[in-house]
Amino acid sequence: MSLGGEERIANRRARRLDISPLDSFRYGKRLWLDVDTGLTLKQSLLDETGRAVETFQLTVLEQPRLHQGEVSVDCSPPGAS
């Protein structure tokens, strides 16, 4: 693992973390973590040449709010009428 520089992702300060595999049977990962919360804002899966083969990224991150309502759960088995 190694720390990269600081970047902006989803309009937030993010620190890059590079995870390199120890053998050629695994892919590497590159994560951009929110400086304030540690939340993963972006993640890339890297092939053996270091090229991104898959990327996930948040584009907007809003301040969370508590749900002001009820949550119902249906516990009946599937297919029951």
Model confidence pLDDT, tens digit, residues 56-76: 998 887 777 888 888 888 888
- Residues near 53 by Cβ (< 8 Å), separated by ≥ 6? 27, 45, 46, 47
**Cross-strand bridge partners of residue 30:** 18, 44
d(CA 28, CA 61): 26
Model confidence pLDDT, tens digit, residues 1-44: 999 999 999 989 999 999 999 988 899 999 999 999 899 999 99
